[in-house]
Structure 1
Amino acid sequence: MEFSAAGRLEVRITAADVGKRVSVRRLTDPGVTEGKFTDTVGVLTSWDDGVLVITRKSGDSVRIDASSLVAGKVVPPAPARRRGPAASFEELSRIAARAWRPVESERLGDWELRAASGFTRRANSVLPLGDPGLPLDAALDAVRRWYAERGLPAYAQTATGAEGTQELLCGELERRGWVREVTAELWIGALAPLADVAAPDAGASVSSAPSVVLARSADEAWLSRYQRKGVSEVALKVLGSGPSVWFATVPGASGEAPAAIGRCVVDGRWAGFAAVEVDPAWRRRGLATAVMAALARRALDEGASAAWLQVEADNAGARALYGRLGLGAHHAYHHYREPREASS
């Protein structure tokens, strides 16, 4: 916190600092001069009518009465990752988008409108990178019309928590009544350690590495393990989209669904992992690790050197696995749904 020459805390931020990363301290109970303090760090997304809104790295917004502030200052951007490949959120957003293509898309300036008959929010949301070529309200109106014409609710995919991310856009969406429905994180790491990892995991009960079969398309066996039910023709197109797609399968018992599956898309230096799923009866035997290792080796053969994947914040098991494999969070991403009255 900032101190004055007399050694007292000072508030050194104003409404002119909207869009900057700040650190503030406030009284938990503004009516008690000797009360407890709460510190908040994030991007100042608005300051209106005596109320500040600060968006944290997670995407959560904190409303703060300016009268409760006891200190505040502008702070440098969050320090960059010290390990793993260097990448901007925009590069990763575009890489992730190419790995999960819609069946229909259209440009709105630099924004991409994406639709796939409602199969996943990622393939049915606008990716607002850059300038839409219109004022924000007009752009959002155009987005809502485009999705309404296809019988779909309008979603916007945004990012927070890294240099250059979209905290201001998130704040503007929330001010207009858009609701954040889903938050996840995009994790990255070096690819070679994934390919070299031993399978099964230490302490596993199987005596040899499981057999992993790789294929260019998702067959009936793979789809029988995939968690999304009722996979349609549209879904198959999305699953098969991407520059270089591979599907991994660990066969199960005779006549049964696979014990484990996974999907990988190789795109230049990046290999993106998804749909890593294991039969509950086969968990904790290293199958997820084996699937990722096999896919990583294939990606290395195609010239990739970096890995990425997406994981939801409440998936503790997956996060623990990916952490052990050397990956870590780069930024959070969110799907905002248009106000309900706009889609009714």
Structure 2
Amino acid sequence: MEFTIGGRLEVRITPTDVGKRVSVRRRTDDGGTGAEFTDVVGVLTSWNNGVLSVTRKSGESVHIVESTVVAGKVVPAAPARRRGPAASFGELATVTARAWQPVESEALGDWRLRAAGGFTRRANSALPLGDPGLPVGEALDRVRDWYEERGLPAYVQTATGAEGTQELLCAELERRGWRREVSAEVRIAALAPVGDLEAEVRAVRLTREPDAAWLARYQRLAAPGPSALRVLGSGPSVWFATVPGDTGAPAAIGRCVVDGRWAGFMAVEVAPEQRRRGLATTVMAALARRAQDEGASAAWLQVEDDNEGARALYDGMGFATHHRYHHYRSA
């Protein structure tokens, strides 16, 4: 990474560059003769009182003392991704929200307040996709009040790592004491290769509604209450996949929502004793073929950072990270 002009290191960023993507080199030694440096790339989210904050695409905010900065420059947005379909953040954010709809929703300017009795953070968090119509501090106070009225913790779902995402809001939430609890990747891929995966799809039963066995296998559901059932059944065209097991309980399950050109995959789970038999691939392939029959050509899914097994599976299917989302909880 070069910061030199005519062989000299130069700092070519100022506080007026807040909101831009930057690359910063800082000194990490204690001021002795053995200088050591690290580079930070991300969105410059603040520059106050001699401290720069740079938010990486992972959502991590790095605080840099101004006196340690030896070089810096504004850099262009990350290059367009070569794998998977072309997609904007706005398009994907809208499609993913339609696939997991709350029971109750209210607009706050361009933000959307969502509640579903506490069933999953996604259905019980504010989704900020534009201007709330209020100063951010007042908007966050309104978010807290709205969730408190419903006996729920206040969450805001933000995104980083793609053009049009919300690094500045992440930094503001952290400044106000909101705590990041969960981060996940939103991944995309062409749908046809998923449908072409070698799998015994005839073993998969597809239905429009989840039955009791499917619900019993779904690990995020302690009890199938009405709010959870409404969230699971929401979306333009919803399909549930079940691979029957030898004992009557499903060996594997999955859910897919078809929405125009997109097919979203969720709740792909395999019974512990049935793992390493390719059943997750079987479920994905069966759902992908049904989505293709309805005209879909692109696929998306969400995978949390700590789910290494699922990440490896989706790597093999050609899914590439488009952006990341984070849930911040009010202090």
Q: TM-score range by the shorter chain?
A: over 0.9
In the alignment, residue 151 of structure 1 is paired with which amino acid? G
Decide whether the 8 Å contact of 1:210 with 1:287 is kept in 2: no
Cα distance in 1 between the residues matched to 2:39 and 2:70: 10
Q: Which deviations, in whole Å up to 9, do the C-alpha atoms of 1:97-138 show, x marking residues without a partner? A: 100000000001111000001000000000000111111111
Matched residue pairs, number? 329
Partner of 1:159: 159
Partner in structure 2 of residue 294 of structure 1? 286
Does the CA-based 8 Å contact 1:52-1:66 persist in structure 2?
yes
**Alignment correspondent of 1:2:** 3
Look up the match of 2:254: 262
SS of structure 1 residue aligned to 2:269: strand
Paired residues for 1:266-281 under 5 Å: 266-281=258-273
Query: Secondary structure at 1:95's aligned position in 2?
Result: helix
Provide the rounded CA distance (Å) in 2 between the counterparts of 1:216 and 1:193: 24
**Which residue of 220, 224, 234 maps to 1:231?**
224
CA 1:209–1:192 in 2, change beyond 3 Å: closer, same or farther?
closer
For 2:9, the aligned partner's letter is L
SS of the aligned residue for 1:183 comes to strand
Unaligned runs of 5+ in 2: none
**Structure 2: distance between partners of 1:253 and 1:219:** 17
Q: Kindly provide the CA deviation profile for residues 300-340 of structure 1, in whole angstroms up to 9, marking residues without a partner as x.
A: 0001000000001111110111111111110010000112x
1:334 aligns with 2:323: no
- How many angstroms does 1:186 deviate by? 0.3
Aligned to 1:164, the other structure's residue is in SS state coil
Amino acid across the alignment from 2:98: R
Deviation at 1:178, TM superposition (A): 0.8
Q: CA RMSD in A?
A: 1.1
**SS of residue matched to 1:123:** helix
Task: Give the conservation status (yes or no) of the 8 Å contact 1:197–1:293.
Answer: yes
State the partner residue of 1:194.
Answer: 194
Between 238-247 and 29-38, the greater mean CA deviation after superposition: 29-38
**Match of 2:73?**
73
Whether the aligned pair in 2 keeps the contact of 1:30 and 1:67 (CA below 8 Å) is no
Residue type matched to 1:162 in 2? A
Q: Partner letter of residue 249 of structure 1? A: T
Deviation at 1:33, TM superposition (A): 4.4
Q: Post-superposition shift, 1:209? A: 6.0
Find the aligned partners of 1:41 and 1:105 in 2 and give their Cα distance.
36
Give the CA deviation at 1:30.
4.5
- 1:320 aligns to what? 312
Deviation at 1:49, TM superposition (A): 0.6
Give the aligned residue type for 1:83. Answer: R
Q: 1:211 aligns with which of 200, 203, 210?
A: 203
Confirm or deny that 1:241 pairs with 2:234. Answer: yes
User: Match of 2:238, SS?
Assistant: strand
Greater mean alpha carbon deviation, residues 263-272 or residues 35-44: 35-44
| Alpha-carbon offset, residue 4 of structure 1 | 3.1
Question: Counterparts of 1:38 and 1:22 in 2: how far apart (Å)?
Answer: 14
Q: Which residue pairs with 1:253 in the alignment?
A: 246
AA aligned to 2:319 is: L
Give the alignment's TM-score, normalised by structure 1.
0.94
What does the per-residue CA deviation read over 1:175-229, in whole Å, with 9 as the maximum and x for residues that have no partner? 1111111100000000000001102xxxxxxxx6660000000001111111022
Shift, 1:279, TM fit:
0.7
1:143-154 matched pairs, under 5 angstroms? 143-154=143-154
Contact 1:22 1:72 in 2 (8 A): yes
Paired-residue identity, %:
73
Q: Distance in 2 between matches of 1:273 and 1:290?
A: 13
Inter-partner Cα distance in structure 2 for 1:116 and 1:82: 37
How many Å apart are 1:164 and its aligned residue?
1.3
Partner of 1:88: 88
Partners of 1:250 and 1:261 within 8 A in 2: yes
- Unaligned ranges ≥5, structure 1: 200-207, 340-344
Please say which of residues 210-219 and 32-41 is displaced more in the overlay. 32-41
Aligned equivalents of 2:83 and 2:188: distance in 1? 10
The aligned runs of 1:9-24 (5 Å cut-off) are 9-24=9-24
Give the structure 1 partner of residue 26 of structure 2: 26
